[in-house]
Amino acid sequence: MAARGYSLARADESSEAPSAINMLVDGEPPVAEEASTIVILPDTQNYSEKFPEIFDAQTRWIAENATPRNIAFVLHLGDITNRNTPAEWINAKRSMDLLKAVPFVMATGNHDYSEGGSAVDRSTLYGEYFPIAEARSRQGFGGTFDAEPNRLDNSWWTFIAAGRKWLIVSLEFAPRNEVLSWADQVISSRADHSTILITHAFLYYDETRYDWNGKGTQQNWNPHSYGVSKQQPVNDGEELWEKLVSRHDNCVMAINGHVLGDGLGRMTSQTNGGTDVMQMLVNFQMKPSGGDGWLRLLEIQKGSDSKGQRVKVYDYSPTLGKTNASPQNQFQFSLPPSV
């Protein structure tokens, strides 16, 4: 299986000086007339704990731009909270409610589990503030992990955008083997949908997947290094690739947050049948004020070229009113032809 990585010069993650990953320009990204947008909302843990007004500004901007930008779905990449406390979940709930009618799904991160966000087990307050009954009424809801029907930690969603049928599969932090078996069935049964996998830990900032068996502690924060992995076998990025993503030619993207460093990375690998899968790490929590409100916009062009539809990627902060034009934050890629 081929793998193509993209590596750029790194900057000190604590620095906001101009650098290879910090080329800020005033204003929003341009609005395309014939495109659909998927918004990526990564790691809001610091906003939920300390800067709720920034979380509010993000979701309010999304709601206000739902029509002009034809926003089809919002994908939260996990670490909704920092310490899994009621106060943080209340803040997160209020912010996500500002999306109003915009469809969304939220993955769980390690900080969303256990007392203090320590991820020693799978106890979480998530379901108390985002109940399954409410999720079932939201646009696009498909179902949950069949062994845990009343938990949203693992769920699937569908929608139509840019002339395609889409499937979102959202997996818990450190997915268990039985969860991957369930996800495999969900994707197989919707082979005519272009599939996006979201989970909290998949790609590392060195533009390779998490690989406990091959790299161990050389990569920080691998799911296998958390207490939750002592309860049941769990899977990291490479295991998710081998056991799930690579087996489905309708998988076109895998997106995660979680990783520090510069919090950015991307690579393209091919499924067993030769489909290109764009894998992206997106995490801004290391920036000032817990992330400076940065969002990632995936603008899917309605038309197509010889290689498939184009996706334009922009990182925008509604609190700063700026777009990051660096090559790590603004780029394009092609989707495979619709299945």
First CA to last CA distance, the chain: 20
- Residue 17 pLDDT > 80, yes or no? no
Tell me: the pLDDT tens digits for 179-188?
999 999 999 9
| pLDDT at site 64 | 98
Query: How much is the pTM?
Result: 0.93
pLDDT at 219: 98
Residue 18 lies in a domain: no
For residue 338, the model assigns a pLDDT of 79
Q: Which domain holds residue 329?
A: 30-334
The pLDDT of residue 20 is 58
Give the residues across from 332 on adjacent strands. Answer: 312
Pair of tokens at residue 273? 């049948």
> Is-contact 294 115, C-beta < 8 A?
no
Summarize pLDDT for 129-187 with one digit per residue, the tens. 999 999 999 999 999 999 999 999 999 999 999 999 999 999 999 999 999 999 999 99
Instruction: Report the CATH number that the domain containing residue 49 is assigned in CATH.
Output: 3.60.21.10
Report the number of distinct structural domains present in the chain: 1
Q: Is residue 181 part of a domain?
A: yes
Residue 107: pLDDT over 50: yes
**Residues shown for the chain:** 339
Query: Which band of pLDDT confidence, cut at 50, 70 and 90, is reported for residue 32?
Result: confident
pLDDT score of 33? 83
Whether 7 shows a pLDDT value over 80: the answer reads no
Q: What percent of the chain has pLDDT over 70?
A: 92
Inside any domain, residue 23: no
pLDDT higher than threshold 80 for residue 15 = no
In 3D space, the residue among 196, 212, 199 whose CA is nearest the CA of residue 158 turns out to be: 196
- The pLDDT-based confidence of 308 (bands split at 50, 70, 90) is confident
pLDDT level of residue 13 (50, 70, 90 thresholds):
very low
pLDDT of residue 193: 98
Q: Is the pLDDT of residue 214 over 90?
A: yes
Question: Mean of the pLDDT values across residues 23-48?
Answer: 96
Per-residue exposure over 255-289, b if at least 16 CB sit within 10 Å of its own CB, e if not: bbbbbeebbbbbbebbbeeebbbbbbbbbbbbbee
Which residue, among 23, 139, 24, has the nearest Cα to 72 in the 3D structure? 139
pLDDT grade, residue 337 (50/70/90)? confident
Residue 319 lies in a domain: yes
Q: Supply the pLDDT for residue 339.
A: 67
Amino acid at 139: Q
The structure tokens 């979701």 sit at 59
Mean pLDDT of 301-307: 66
